[in-house]
Structures are given as structure tokens and as C-alpha cells.
Amino acid sequence: MSDDVLYGYLVGEDPATGNKVIDEIIDTLTKPVNGHKPGETIEAASSGELDLFLEADTEDNLQRTFYERGWTDGLPIIIPTEERVNAMLAGTSASPDEVVGEYYRFDIKGMVKFTVRNVAIIAVMAGARPEHFPVILAVAATRQQAIMPSTTNFSPMLLVNGPIRNEININCGIGAFSPVTLANSVIGRAWTLMSTCWGYMKPRKNLWSSLGSNLTYNNMCAGENEERSVWEPFHVQHGFKAEESVVSIFRGWIISNSAGAAANRPIGEEVALQMVAIPASYTQGTVIMDPLVAKTLKETDGFATKQDFSKWLSDNIKIPAGQYWGYDHVDWMITPLANEGKEPFASWKKLSEDTLINPYCDPDKINIVVIGGETSPLWYASDFGYSGSQSIDRWRSLDSLGECADGSCGVPDEMIEYDE
């Protein structure tokens, strides 16, 4: 689409109102919304705006209230009573009033600030227990939303590393991405509820994804299978100590499941074939593989480290430049960077359509994560990029830190039961 056509849309009339489109854009971006001035920071209750406490009512009526106000993910939640929230707060030594972070809300064009207590409310709603709370706080501290106000099917992944995986029984093995494990399910769900309650993720408000993504029910929350991996853990690759507990975030559009093991060609070639079909918009990708795959890559194919395999993929995945620029979202996201002279995109833009390029040209942006139960040598290939990590230990309770000092951690004997 040419610049002239795009400019015509801006200065032309909105067919629904008859007003100039540019005037409507300026008016929408500058006027107060719902009583809030652009750039204003508001405090987060479970709604982001309303009183912290609701009037007492029946369980059914409260469930209906939470759903109708958009405070759920469409499923029933645990009603966050004061008693339950206080029990959740026992899972951290942080002050309930400590500010954890803030989200930008597009509908009010301002920030929503949330505290440890606000996060505890969300954790209860998700069905979490106090031992899960430090992980949920670390996720909140990334200040990244699970659901983005994009029209595409943009999706995230949560990865947990370190001792806390075993302490709270995060699934790193069989069915790690399946809906079978409490910790994986509630931690990932809590992140979505943060976006729903504080980010006001309602259709045609801040939720614009045409198809949506069911990955955001628990955001692919899992732990890396460090014990069965032949390579160093992901968090160690990024500067953390092996004994630290860390949560990391990944984001992308496309994830492709291997239908079977690589029986007729080397695993590396099979993975590369899948990644060729994925538009590497920002030259990034993530391969999530079963420990059996990692073992074969190291012991049979000679990849001593994750970095070695990333480098091989970077060097050997090639596509024609025309194919790369032909992807729609590559065109509208990366072409402006190429026009600004940003490399390697500027050089790629000058090539003939049939010239081969390495779309994953930076091996440091090809992430390798080892997850799975060793029942089959399978993997996922994706365009997910690494968005950052947060310490979980920062949010632990002092009691749990003391218990873990000798390395003998475990799930607390007494669980908080929500049944009355």
C-alpha cells in the first residue's frame, strides 16, 4: 500500500461519521476518558478503579458480579475474601502496600499502579496458594501484560528456573504444558487475570485480537527440566546463579509442534525446516525441546552447548529475501527499520528477491529451552523472543528463605484450603 493511499485515509472522511479521520484520532488521543486525564496514574483495586471491597452476597451472585464486571478469564474464580488475601500475603515478606509495578492502559492513556496486596487478590482469584505467591509477584514485577492490545494473536510464555520448581511442584516433565498441574495452571492464570482486571482487557476496549489465543489461559507456564537437561539452565545463560529462582518471559505469534521424531534426517535439519516456515520478523526464535532431543543433539550430533546449536541454526536456516519481505507483518514492522538504515534489514532490503538470507542472523536471539518427560523426542519451534527475567527470591517470605538455606526445600505441610 502506497504512502499516498495511507495519507488519503488519514485526511479523508470516516464513512461512519463523515468526520475527518485525523480529527477523530487527535480528539480520541487528547480528551479525558472515563474521568481520567491522559497520562494519569491510578491505583489498582481488583477493577483498577472501584472500591476494594464489595458488599457481602451469595457465592453465585459474587461469581456473576466478577464475571459481568470483566474481572475473570471467563471461568469461575476463587472469591478473594479478606481472610484468603491475608493468607496469601503470608507467602511473602514484602509489605502489602509495596508497589510492585504498573501497567499502561490504552483506554485511559495512563498507568495503573499495583501493590503486593493487589497481586495477592489476583493470586487468590486464580486459585493459587501462598507458596506460589513469590512467583506470581515476580511475574507482576516484570511490568509486562499477558494479553497485549494487538489485533494479532500475540501470545506469551512463562518459564521458571531454579530450586523453587521442585519446592512448589512446577511441572517440568510429562505434560508440562497440559492442564494437569496446579502450580503451572494458577501461576499462568494469575498473569492473565492481572491483564484482565488492571489492563481492562475487554473486547473493543483494550482487547482487539481478531481471533485471540487460548495460550493466554495459562500463558504456557512451565519449568525448565534442569535435572534431565544435558545443557546449562536458561537462567544461568542470562547471568543468574544456578541456585537462584527466576521467572522469564517470552513473546511471539507462531508456535509449531513437531508431529513426530526426526527419523529420516538429523534433528537439527528437521528443526531448521520448521523454522524456515516461520517468519523471523525480529530475527528471533525459541525452540522448546524434550530432554531426549537435547541429549541426541549433544551426544550424537556434537552440540556441546545450547549456544552451539543456536549458532548452527543461525548459519544454516536460509530463505530468499523476497520470501522474507513478502510476509505481511514483516513488511509493516521491519520495512520502516530498513528504511531508517537499521542493519541487517537495510542491506536485506537492497537484495534481489532470490538472494538467500539468514533470517535468524543473530544466534543470541535463538533461545533453547529444555522441557518434557522423555516419553518422545519432540519439540516446539516458534518465533517467540525473550522479553526479560525477574528474581523470584526477591519476593519470598523470610521463613521460606530460612528453610531453603541448606537446600532442603519442600512444599509446606499445611496447605490453605479454600473450601468453607
Residue with cell 496447605: 415
Between 406 and 240, the more confident residue is: 240
pLDDT value at position 15?
A: 78
CA 343 to chain centroid: 27
pLDDT value at position 419?
A: 41
Residue 406 in this model has a pLDDT that exceeds 90: no
Q: Which of 78-87, 145-154, 232-241 has the lowest mean pLDDT?
A: 145-154
- Which are the contacts of 372, defined by CB distance < 8 A and separation ≥ 6? 173, 174, 176, 225, 289, 290, 291, 292, 378
| DSSP 8-state secondary structure symbol assigned to residue 20 | B
Q: What does the alpha-carbon distance between residue 318 and residue 359 come to, in Å, rounded to a whole number? A: 7
**Using one digit for the tens of pLDDT, what is the confidence trace for 385-395?**
999 999 999 99
In this prediction, residue 110 has a pLDDT band, given cuts at 50, 70 and 90, of confident
Residue type, 227: E
In this prediction, residue 141 has a pLDDT band, given cuts at 50, 70 and 90, of very high
Q: What is the mean pLDDT of residues 238-250?
A: 98
343: buried, middle or exposed (CB in 10 Å: 19+, 13-18, 0-12)?
A: exposed
Residue 199 in this model has a pLDDT that exceeds 80: no
**Using one digit for the tens of pLDDT, what is the confidence trace for 260-317?**
776 788 999 999 999 999 988 889 999 999 999 999 999 999 999 999 999 999 999 9
Give how far Cα 411 sits from Cα of 129, 226, 246, 318, Å.
11, 19, 18, 47
Q: What is the mean pLDDT of residues 12-27?
A: 83
In this prediction, residue 93 has a pLDDT band, given cuts at 50, 70 and 90, of very high
How many C-beta neighbours within 10 Å does residue 308 have?
Answer: 17
Residue 228 corresponds to which cell in the numbers above? 534431565
pLDDT value at position 10?
A: 83
Let me know: does 19 contact 13? Beta carbons within 8 Å.
Answer: yes
39: buried, middle or exposed (CB in 10 Å: 19+, 13-18, 0-12)?
A: exposed
Count of alpha carbons within 13 angstroms of residue 410, beta-carbon side = 4
Percent of the chain with pLDDT over 70: 89
In this prediction, residue 368 has a pLDDT band, given cuts at 50, 70 and 90, of very high
Let me know: does 396 contact 116? Beta carbons within 8 Å.
Answer: no
Percent of the chain with pLDDT over 90: 64
pLDDT value at position 52?
A: 67
**Using one digit for the tens of pLDDT, what is the confidence trace for 37-70?**
555 566 665 444 445 688 899 999 999 999 999 8
**Using one digit for the tens of pLDDT, what is the confidence trace for 111-127?**
889 999 999 999 999 99
pLDDT value at position 33?
A: 56
Give how far Cα 215 sits from Cα of 109, 177, 301, 343, Å.
27, 10, 33, 32
Let me know: does 366 contact 310? Beta carbons within 8 Å.
Answer: yes
The continuous run of DSSP H or E covering 101 comes out as strand 99-105
**Using one digit for the tens of pLDDT, what is the confidence trace for 204-242?**
777 777 788 888 889 999 999 999 999 999 999 999 999
Residue 80 in this model has a pLDDT that exceeds 80: yes
Long-range contacts of 176-185 (CB under 8 A, 24+ apart): 176/222, 176/223, 176/225, 176/371, 176/372, 176/373, 177/220, 177/222, 177/371, 179/218, 182/127, 182/129, 183/132, 183/135, 184/218, 184/221, 184/222, 184/223, 185/127, 185/218, 185/221
Let me know: does 121 contact 46? Beta carbons within 8 Å.
Answer: yes
Let me know: does 29 contact 39? Beta carbons within 8 Å.
Answer: no
Let me know: does 115 contact 92? Beta carbons within 8 Å.
Answer: no
